[in-house]
A and B are shown apart, each in its own frame.
Chain A
Amino acid sequence: MIPTLAGVILLIFFLFKFFGGDPAQILAGQVASQEQIDAIRQQLGLDRPWYVQLGIFVRDIFSFDFGKSWMTREQVSEIFVTRLPATLTITLPILILEVALAIPVAMLVAYHRGTLLDRLVIAICVAAMSISFLVYIIVGQYVFGFELGWFPVQGWSDSFWRNLVTYAPLPILLAALVGLAPQTRLYRSFFLDETKSDYVRTARAKGLSDAAILRRHVLPNAMVPVLTNVALLLPGVFVGSFLLEIFFSIPGLGREVYIAVNRSDYPVIQAFTVYLAVLTMLINLGADVLYRLVDPRIQLT
């Protein structure tokens, strides 16, 4: 994990250092004098050799101090902490809803595998996955927010409960429904893989019904790949909803990065990328430890 973290830091540093624009130029704007640019250069340490700059970058990361956003003069760490709750208010319910809905649907189609129902559900899933997420959001926002008026078109407040009850439901429902199709397809294959195992044949031989086999034997065993999949999706909860945040003007992390890209606000992009990479690594580590608890056969390497 340490070498990977070092690699992430190096990648981000060199990407912005050698391929990015001149920070002083971006900061000073179009009509800056040479003195102004030089002053900014000195202030940012851009006149020093690259390894000193790398040292400063590493120090910033470990002291959680990325300085201020170039555009809004807000502390970057402050931005990160204040935008995180809004993102999690949206993404965590999406993840829970998606998994909770996909498991029963996948079990149902796995139980009826090969029948018309199975093929119909899978065909609908493929077609549903071929439509861009954008279309679902545009049409969903228009129909349920604008035309029918069931939900507010967009907005956000300071109160968590008000957000969760008023503003979040529409984006959450849209994303959960869209995520359902790929999830169902995946979980169906997990269930079908398990039904080929020996223990299923044994259970059938002793006379258990298909429904009982599926519920008592297949489901617990299929939970291992399902959990793996959830662990893979978990890092996504931090930025996964950036499109929803942009459409519904939710002040979250994803929207903040998007705004930063449009403004060439490098410190914000760099800090978010490095910290979210660290979070991803920590989550993956946690997931590995969890597997060990769920399935003792798995050895940590």
Chain B
Amino acid sequence: MAAVLDIVPENAWLALWRRLQQDRIGAFSLGIVIVYLVMILFAMAGLLAGGWSEEIGVPYANPSFLGERPNLEAALAQRAAQRQGRVPDLTAVDPLAPKYAEWEKRTAELKTGERERSLTLRWGGDRWGRDVLAKAIKGSQVSIAVGVFAALCATFIGTLLGALGGFYGRWVNDSLEWVYNVFTSIPSILLVFSLAAVLRSGVLAHLFASGIWTVVIILAVTGWTGMYRLVRAEYMKHRSREYVLAAQAIGASAASRMFVHILPNVSHVVLVQLSLLVVAFIKVEVILSFLGLGVPVDMVSWGTMLGEAQTELVIGKWWQLAAATVFMAIFLTAFSMLTDSLRDALDPKLR
């Protein structure tokens, strides 16, 4: 083979890798994204921020670098806890009084220990004295996972429908265009709200009661349209190209032509659009979680952190807001820059 072909064509993905490395901003952004991904993997494995929900500090514990700051809220909470000891004696009128002795015995059997709460935490504490830094790391895991999963689902729907519409044309295309028009004529936030209402109180509510899947479904169902439009246009261009006709001539089936022959040639469009979707979906997830329509209450995401931050800011506890904002801004900036570099590296016109 090498004798026939003088030039061995470079593997397209290796070429992309080489071009990305040459682009300094792209390589730097890629580095940051990889750091985040490693952090998420560690968080998923429980090696990092596993105890984000443990109350290890006093309420609104100061960040270590602001240790001397007066913490009124913690002092108040402490005083309230001390005062609890003196409960007025109501045994005469309390119908549950005979049971008290039994309950106290059972309580004594359970091991409870008030753990030492520290006055300062690395990046401060929230209202319950949880470590904000651990929350931010765990929140990164949830927010990015939602964004990535939702983008993958939307990409799957959009690519599949776009491939079908663009490849077959005629009535398949017409009916898919109709679906596309229907979905795009509804303002996206209303579609999101409608789906949220249905998934919260509807027959499927118990299926998605916990976990991130409600948000992922909402985002995927509302977000596939752009991908569909792009992939459809590409398939319309490609379906009558010579290499596809050649594949047909040697007997490749329609499915094989669509996904084995054409798909790799349009994958650069899909990849860039996928990265754009990740950024967009993370932003929407943050807003939905803030509004209480996103991840469930037992999880933490950048959005739920911002939700707590609003009331904290008024009493001067700014660190949770800062942590969520900084973690999110760095990731999204790096990811957007990486997407730009990716687009430049993949654009055949710029080579």
Contact = CB atoms under 8 A, between A and B. Distances in A.
B198 A15 contact: yes
Contacts of B110: none
State the majority secondary structure of interface residues on A.
Answer: helix
A183 to B, nearest CB: 16
A266 B198 CA distance: 9
A45 interface: no
A260 B182 contact: no
Interface residues of B, number: 49
A221 interface: no
A8 to B, nearest CB: 5
A258 B197 contact: no
User: Chain A: interface residue count, which band?
Assistant: 35 or more
A142 interface: yes
A26 B197 CA distance: 12
Nearest to A243: B287
B34 interface: no
Interface string B182-225: 11011101110111111111111100000000000000000000
Contact of A130 (B181, B205, B329): B329
Contacts of A224: none
B173 interface: no
Contacts, number: 135
A264 interface: yes
Dominant SS among interface residues on chain B: helix
Nearest to B196: A261
Interface string B91-122: 00000000000000000000000000000000
Given A16-B198, A257-B190, A133 B287 contact: yes
A272 B290 CA distance: 22
A20 B293 contact: no
Which of the listed residues A131, A135, A240, A246 has the most CB atoms from chain B within 10 Å of its own CB?
A: A135
Interface stretch (A54-62, A99-107, A273-281): A273-281
A238 interface: yes
A131 B330 CA distance: 9
Given A126-B333, A264-B200, A131 B325 contact: yes
Contacts of B182: 4, 7-8, 11
Given A142-B314, A257-B190, A273-B186, A7 B197 contact: no
A236 interface: yes
Interface string B325-337: 1001111110011
Interface string A14-29: 0110111100001000
B340 to A, nearest CB: 8
B178 interface: yes
14 contacts: A7-B179, A12-B194, A21-B202, A130-B336, A132-B287, A132-B325, A138-B306, A139-B313, A261-B197, A261-B200, A269-B190, A270-B194, A273-B186, A277-B186
Interface of B: 178-179, 181-183, 185-187, 189-191, 193-205, 283, 286-287, 290-293, 302-303, 306, 309-310, 313-314, 321, 324-325, 328-333, 336-337
Sorted nearest first, the 9 A-B pairs with minimum C-beta distance are: A7-B182, A130-B332, A21-B201, A130-B333, A264-B201, A20-B202, A4-B181, A277-B186, A273-B190
